[in-house]
Structures are given as structure tokens and as C-alpha cells.
Amino acid sequence: MKIITSLHTICLMLSQTLSRRSAAAAVASPSPDFSTNSIVLDRSKCVACGMCIKACNSVAGQGVLKLVKVGNKKLVSTKSGKPLQETNCIKCGQCTLVCGPGALTQKDAIQTVSEVLKNPGDKVLVCQTAPAIRVNLADGLGMPAGSIITGKMVTALKMLGFKYVFDTNFGADLTIVEEATELVNRIKDSKNGPLPMFTSCCPAWVNYVEQSQPDIIPNLSTCRSPVGMLSNVLKGEFPKLLNVDETKIYNVAIMPCTAKKDEAERPQLRTEKGTKETDAVITTRELVKMIKDAKIDFKNLPDTPFDKLYSEASGGGAIFCNTGGVMEAAIRSAYRFYTGKELKDYNILDVRGLDGIKLASVDFDGTPIKFSVAQGVANAMKLIKKIKNHEDDVKDVKFVEVMACPGGCVCGGGSTRAKTKKVMEKRIEAAYKIDENSKSRVSHINTELNECYDRYLDGKYFSHKAHHNFHTHLTPREIH
């Protein structure tokens, strides 16, 4: 982290130097690469610091980038020379976090969303905010790292023009009860799917599996991500409650993740009529810019609650944004579904912290359930190799969580930059604080969620209708 921080400073200094060069010299390089849904590569802004290459190698483990000579200078490029979309890039965005000059950035959706906000016509403007946003938005708007600014965030989104603001933590609870049920089903009967079961909520991790490890696709949970589940509800049940057509709902997801932009374009995540369930994805950094451009005095905003119906959430949903949080939340509910009892201590400390690979076990009423957590796909690659080699320390692992970004979604590729390890730790601590102060810390004790199942999903977790609406399928993707 110290190396990354110092390189970030150097990169910014080089960027300032570049900005003082003549305009002609600054643009004498190839046109931007807009080939992906998530990330843009504009080599005219590259200062050859190499930070993006380090992030792609050490965090993502993909080695997509390198410096190449263009005229009399070096600029970043893909190793193959092909557009990013035709490489093994997983869209995690870790390169964008360390690129000060902006040679690598998220694919901006501000203009598209702003135009709809200004001229909505007959559209019902809806947004949902990921668990991480209320934690990593603050330091991008001049507030202390780790500040929990949920109410101010909702107020700001209403001021920008959204009529309804819902909480993707509700979607996290949906994912947890479905995933925990799926895990218990697999543990009880191998016919329900192979073990270990891997989480599937991180889109960069899913991209990696489809592209580079398709043989483990059957091991991945079939559950959609939280945004995928809530977007299904917002285009499925919500229009009926408002008595409008699904095409009239304009659903924007505020996410800490560049890969979520890619996920939103998946054909599996469309309605039966072919409507995109998530119309647009805005990253934390984009939301910061929108708030600043609107000259909203964020620090002094009053608090506004989320809109009812899809906003009650457990502490388990809140920690979804931390590395180890998905695992911890799912185990809390899986224990209940397996044993019929509540877990005595909801704090599963062994899965917390910033170690690259973590191993832990919980006794399910006499049955030890072993699980593992990997942060960063580079570490996940090491863990998969150990599992495939049947190494002793990972034998009998039943459940594996993978997040592509160090620290989890709180430091996702679309978040404001955590320039120090301390900032990362403050964000993680804030999510655990939300968990500890929550009315309920387990996803299956969520009144709005269970009412949603009664209205929309035949009143049962993992029902046929729930499987149709909340689960998906993955397919191998060849890298051209």
C-alpha cells in the first residue's frame, strides 16, 4: 500500500508536468479505446508511470497491460495490441483507481443519466445504492473516511431528480437467503450441485471464471448479484404496483464497481420482453462528480430515509461490501436453514481482515462446515490451484467467497480512491458498525423481504418462481 501511495504521488506529479506541455504534443497518440462496457483507455493522457500494470498484475492477476514505444515516448497498451474487450481484462477497474492522469477511467454514464434526469418525460426515475456507497462516498466529498452518510446520500439523489431511492442492501438480503439455501441444498445432496460452491456476486470474478476457468462454472452459485435481484423486482413487481409498464421504469444503480457496468449489459439480465433490468450504472466517482457539478452542499444536507418497500435491510446485507462479508452473512443464514437454530455469535471473525486468503470453519450442530475467502483475483487463482491440487489445508472446503478488489466493494474499481491503508480500514470498520447497530443482523429476519416473497415469489426462498427471477446461468467466453 505504501508503494502504491508513493507511486500515486509520482503519477500525479507527472500528470501535472504533462498538462503544461503543448496541446499538440499531448494528443499525438492513438485514439481512445471504448471497446468495453466498463473501462476506457485513453493513451493521450498516459505518463508511463506503470501503476496500472502493477495493479493488473498483482491485484487482478491478469497481466493485460504493458508499456509500448509510440514515437519517442512510452505509452500503456494491451500486451496483445488488441482492444481491451478482446483481451482477458476482467473489468475490475483496479487500474482506474491508481491512474492519476486519467488514461484509464470508468466508461462514463453521467451524460446519459443526466439527460434522462433533466427530461424524464413519462419515465419513473428510480435508483438503488450499493452497500458500499454510504461508506466510500464521504471522502470523495471532503468528509472523513469511514463517515456513514446514508441519509445525506439519499437527499442528494432526490435533489438530482430521482423520485424513488431504494437500498441495494435489500437486494443483498435477497441474495443471501437464496445463496444460503442453495449452499445448504448442495451440502445435503451432491445432486444439487458440486462443492465447494463459489460466490457469484462479484462481476469481475464471474468474468474471470467465464474467460479463464470455465471448468468451475458448475461450482459457482447460480444466484444473481444483489443489484441483479433488486433490478428484477424493480422491473417485475414494482411497475405492477405503480400500474405502469416496465419500460416506464428508469432504474439506475449506484455502484462502487466498474464491472457492474458490464454486468448490466448481460442478456441474461433482461425481462421477458427484452427490457434491460438495470438501465444504467453510475460509479461512486461519477456520483461525486454529479453532486459537485450540481453544486450541492453535501456536508450540510439533512438526512432523508430510503423509500419504503425495498429498503429494509439486515446487518448481514450491510457487510456485503467488505471482503469476507458475503461469506459471514451467508453463513449466518445457512446455519439457521441447516440446523433450525440461530447462530449464537453472528460475528465470524476469522473471515475478517485483509489477508489475501482466509480459512475458517463453523460447527453446524455437530457438522463442521469449512469455508474460505479470497480477495483479489490473483489470490483467488492461487486458492483455486490449491483446491484443484487437493492440498491439505483446503480439503473439505464447502464454500468460497471471491471479491476482485482488495478490502471488498468498499474499495471497488469505481470507488473514490483509498490513498492509504488506513482509509480502507476506516471504510471496512464503518460497514461493520452499520451491521452491529442494525435492528436485525440476519437476512432471513427482514419483514419487507419476506413480504416481497409472499407477493412476488410464491412465499418461499428458492421456489420455482424465485429461481426463475433471481438466478442466472454463466457460459464460457472465448478470448479473441
Segment 352-392, tens digit of pLDDT: 998 999 999 999 999 999 999 999 999 999 999 999 999 99
| 182-224+320-438 CATH | 3.40.950.10
Note the Cα 250 to chain centre separation in Å: 20
CATH topology of domain 2-106: Alpha-Beta Plaits (3.30.70)
Instruction: Check residue 289 and give its pLDDT.
Output: 98
Q: Across residues 273-291, what is the average pLDDT?
A: 98
Q: Across residues 21-40, what is the average pLDDT?
A: 69
What's the mean per-residue pLDDT of the chain? 93
Residue % of the chain over a pLDDT of 90: 91
Instruction: Check residue 13 and give its pLDDT.
Output: 54
**Number of Cβ atoms within 10 Å of the Cβ of 70:** 16
Strand partners of residue 77:
66
In Å, what is the CA distance from 145 to each residue of 149, 264, 422, 428, 467? 11, 29, 9, 10, 39
Q: Across residues 428-436, what is the average pLDDT?
A: 96
Grid coordinates representing 21 are 506541455
CA–CA gap between residue 201 and residue 228 (Å, rounded) = 9
Instruction: Check residue 30 and give its pLDDT.
Output: 72
Could you give the residue ranges of the DSSP H alpha helices within 79-221? 94-98, 110-118, 133-136, 150-160, 168-188, 203-212
pLDDT band at 23 (very low <50, low <70, confident <90, very high): very low
**Number of Cβ atoms within 10 Å of the Cβ of 186:** 20
User: The whole model's pTM is what?
Assistant: 0.92
Q: Across residues 221-248, what is the average pLDDT?
A: 98
Instruction: Domain ranges for the chain, please list them.
Output: 2-106, 182-224+320-438
CA–CA gap between residue 74 and residue 79 (Å, rounded) = 13
Instruction: Check residue 479 and give its pLDDT.
Output: 78
Q: Which of residues 16 and 381 earns the better pLDDT score?
A: 381
pLDDT band at 53 (very low <50, low <70, confident <90, very high): very high
